[in-house]
Structure 1
Amino acid sequence: MRAINAVLLLALLLTFSGCVERPEAPAVSEQQATEEWKADGIVNEGEYTRSMLLQAPTRQGYSGGDMQISWRNDEEDLYLALNGSTLGWLALGFEPLEWMKDSDIILASVDKGTAVVLDEYCTGNYGPHIEDTMLGGTDDIQEFSGSESAGRTTIELKRSLQSSDRFDKSFSPGQAVSIIWALSDNPDISQKHDVAYGEGILSLTRAGGVASASLPGSLTPIEKDG
C-alpha cells in the first residue's frame, strides 16, 4: 500500500511541477515559393514557403479555434498570411516580454469587404494594445488585403524585417521569432478575444531558404527558459 501511495504522490508531484511532457509543437510544412506574392486576401499555392496550424481548445470563456499562418521572407521583408476560424478580428503579436507586454501586434479584420489592419503595441501584461501612431510611432504595414469565406477570415500583409520605429520589433533572416495569437468572433476590434489564443514560433529563413530555428543564439531569454 505504501508503494502505491508513493507512486501516486510522485505522479502528482511531476504533474504540478511541470515535468510532464508538453504537447508537441505544431508541424511546419515547407515548399518552394513559385508564385509572386500579392496582397489580395487569397493564399495561392506556391505563394508562401512555410505554413503551420495553431490550435486552441474550448476553455472557460473561449469557444476554441485555429489560425493557419503562412509566411515567406527575403533579406528585407516579411510576407504573412493569417487565416483564422472567425468572422471577427484576429491578431498576431511578435516577441512579448511577458504574457502580452511589449509585443508588437498586428490586429486585423474585414469590415464589409474591406480589410482593416492595425500596427499596435501592447503596454501591459494583458493590454492595452494601442496603435503605434497614437504612441508617437509609425504605421509600418506596407501592403495588406483581406477576405472572408466559409466562416474564416484571411489577411495578407507585408512589413519590413528591420524597423526604426521603437514600437516595432526588428528581425533578421534565419531568426526564430516568438509569437502570440488570438481570435475574436466580434468584428469590433475594441472587444476582447473570445474564440481562441495561444503562442508559437515563427522560423524565418536565411538567404537561400535555409532555416536556423534550432540555433540557441536565435532564441530569446524567455524561449530559453521555456
Structure 2
Amino acid sequence: MKSAIPRLVPLVALTLALISSAACSSDGTTPTTSAPTTPAATTPWAADGIISTGEYTSSQSFTSGVTTFNLHWKTDAQFIYVAMEAQVTGYIAVALDPDIIGGKTNTDMLFGYVAGSQAFLFDQWARTEAGESHPDDTALGGVNNITEFGGRETGGKTIIEFKRLLNTGDQYDHPFVTGANRIMWAVHNTSDDLQVHTAFGRGSITIS
C-alpha cells in the first residue's frame, strides 16, 4: 500500500477525449459496456492490487475489440474506493466527466501503471484537445488528491486500486456524484506514457 506523493510526469499523448459515443476502437469495432453488478461489500478495502471477493459493492466491464477494462467501486460518506484492471502490461487510465465544449476536454484523469514491484498513479487534468498534454494537477496549481493507492501486475494483467474524496474541492478534480457519472478509459501494452492508447472507450458508472 502506498500513500500518494505529488509528482510531475512528462506531458503525455494519451487521447482520452473528443471521442463520440459511437467511436470505434483501434481495430474498428464499437466499444461496449456490460450491465453493472452490485455485490455486497463484506471484505475490508486494501490498496494492495488484489480485488478480493466482497471488497467492492459495484463492478462494470467495458470492452473495445479484444480488450476489456473492468472497474470496481464502493463509497462511504466521504470517499470512493476504486479498482481498475485490464489484461495489459502497461498503463491503465480512467477519466471522469469528460466535458467536450469548445474544443476543451476539462477531464479529471487518473493514470497508473506498475513497474517492477512498484505501482504509480497520477492525478491529472486533460484541458485541451485530444492528443495534447494532460499534466499532473500539481503542475497546474492544484493538489494531488489520491489519498491511497497500490497495484500489481501479474499474469499479464494490471490492477490499480485507489481511494479519493468524493468531492475534493479542487478545481482540477470533478466530484463523484450520486447517480450516473460519465467516464472514459484507456490502456496500452507498455508503461510508456508517451504512447497513444491501444484501446479506449467511454460509458458511465452509477453511484448509489
Question: Does TM, scored on the shorter chain, surpass 0.5?
Answer: yes
Unaligned runs of 5+ in 2: 1-21, 23-29
Following the alignment from structure 1 to structure 2, what is the Cα–Cα distance between the partners of residues 83 and 38?
A: 15
Which structure's relative contact order is higher, taking Cα pairs within 8 Å and 6+ residues apart?
2
Q: Which has the larger radius of gyration?
A: 1
The equivalent of 2:52 in structure 1 is 44
Following the alignment from structure 1 to structure 2, what is the Cα–Cα distance between the partners of residues 87 and 79?
A: 23
SS in 2 for 1:180: strand
1:175 Cα deviation after fit: 2.4
1:124 Cα deviation after fit: 1.3
The equivalent of 1:70 in structure 2 is 72
The equivalent of 1:199 in structure 2 is 202
Match of 2:114 among 110, 124, 134: 110
Look up the equivalent residue of 2:56 and give its one-letter code. Answer: Y
Look up the equivalent residue of 2:76 and give its one-letter code. Answer: D
The equivalent of 2:168 in structure 1 is 163
Q: Please tell me the root mean square deviation across aligned C-alpha atoms, in Å.
A: 1.8
Q: How does 1:1-226 map to 2 (within 5 A)?
A: 25-57=33-65, 64-98=66-100, 101-126=105-130, 127-172=132-177, 174-194=178-198, 196-205=199-208
1:171 Cα deviation after fit: 2.5
Look up the equivalent residue of 2:167 and give its one-letter code. Answer: Q
SS in 1 for 2:135: strand
Kept in 1: contact 2:38–2:59 (CA 8 A): yes
Look up the equivalent residue of 1:34 and give its one-letter code. Answer: T
The equivalent of 1:6 in structure 2 is none
1:67 Cα deviation after fit: 0.8
**Alignment length, in residue pairs?**
177
1:123 Cα deviation after fit: 1.1
The equivalent of 1:60 in structure 2 is none
SS in 2 for 1:130: coil
Unaligned runs of 5+ in 1: 1-17, 58-63, 206-226
Q: Which has the higher helix share?
A: 1
State which drifts further: 182-191 or 81-90: 182-191
Following the alignment from structure 2 to structure 1, what is the Cα–Cα distance between the partners of residues 32 and 141?
A: 40
Following the alignment from structure 1 to structure 2, what is the Cα–Cα distance between the partners of residues 71 and 180?
A: 15
Alpha-carbon distance change, 77 to 100 in structure 1, aligned in 2, over 3 angstroms: farther
1:125 Cα deviation after fit: 2.6
Following the alignment from structure 2 to structure 1, what is the Cα–Cα distance between the partners of residues 41 and 74?
A: 8
TM-score by length of 2: 0.81
